[in-house]
Amino acid sequence: KQEVTQIPAALSVPEGENLVLNCSFTDSAIYNLQWFRQDPGKGLTSLLLIQSSQREQTSGRLNASLDKSSGRSTLYIAASQPGDSATYLCAVPTLTGANNLFFGTGTRLTVIP
Amino acid sequence: GAVVSQHPSRVICKSGTSVKIECRSLDFQATTMFWYRQFPKQSLMLMATSNEGSKATYEQGVEKDKFLINHASLTLSTLTVTSAHPEDSSFYICSAKMGGGNQPQHFGDGTRLSIL
């Protein structure tokens, strides 16, 4: 069974810093990997989706990389802002059945003004 | 595009009440919908998968008689928590996708259920 782990569990940085969030998964046979943002008490906002054939995806200040063979992905946030404070989740779909998502444990990010 | 609407966003009710949560795909036909549960400071855990017109598939440990799922059309799935108790208090989120494996899931905004 796929297991998804995120390190660190929590991170506090001063505004303006660049930062990296890590995601690892045990089964490298994946279709894609997705990064989400979740604000407290809210649903999920999809940030980036990387297909298994891709190495990275960029959207604004966000850059996500994928190394399928080693079972790792990183989310790089440049020039962090207080509005980036949220929990960041990575997720991978199962290859069988309905392709539901396995979610990581999340990284709670706090950007200090 | 690809908007999923979940209603209600918050429910507070007494123990023993049954609560229905709706999940609608507004601008696409969802062949599959998923229901997840999230306890405080934990990640999302899949409860069940539903395909339009067929019975839902429940994950191990999820009581199908407790959490009734109906997926009557390609744009609507409902989750009914029957005879809810305080331990059912949680954040419930649905997602919907069209097509198979490579297609992304689109998430609703979630429902905060609090049972007194």
User: pLDDT tens string for chain B (116 positions)?
Assistant: 678 999 999 999 999 999 999 999 998 898 899 999 998 888 899 999 998 888 899 999 999 999 999 988 889 999 999 999 999 999 999 999 887 667 788 999 999 999 99
Would the CB atoms of B102 and A105 count as touching at under 8 Å? no
Mean pLDDT of A24-36: 91
Q: For A39-48, what is the mean pLDDT?
A: 90
Asked if residues B21 and B8 have their Cβ atoms less than 8 Å apart, the reply is yes
Distance from CA of A102 to the nearest CA of B (A): 8
pLDDT at B38: 93
Residues 68-87 of B with CB under 8 A from A: none
**What gap in Å lies between CA B58 and CA B56, rounded to an integer?**
6
- Which tokens in the block code for residue A56? 């990275």
Percentage, residues of chain A above pLDDT 90: 75
Q: What is the DSSP letter of B99?
A: S
For B6, which residue in chain A has the nearest alpha carbon?
A43
Chain A residues with CB under 8 Å of B46 CB are 100-101
CA distance B52 to A47: 28
Neighbours of B88 (CB within 10 A): 18
Is the Cβ pair B34, A103 closer than 8 Å?
Answer: no
- pLDDT tens readout for residues A81-110: 999 999 999 999 877 666 788 999 899 999
Tell me whether residues A43 and B108 touch, CB distance under 8 A. yes
- A48 vs B: CB within 8 A: no
Dist CA A98 CA A22 (whole Å): 26
What single-letter amino acid sits at A48? L
Tokens representing B65 are 């008689």
State the pLDDT at residue B51: 86
Mutation target vs A (from B32, B44, B103; most A CBs, 10 A cutoff): B44
Q: Which two tokens stand for residue A79?
A: 């020039």
State the average pLDDT over residues A57-70. Answer: 96
CB-based contact A105 B43, cutoff 8 Å: yes
| Average pLDDT value for residue range A4-22 | 96
For chain B, say whether A59 makes contact (Cβ under 8 Å). no
β-pair type (B111-115, B10-13):
parallel
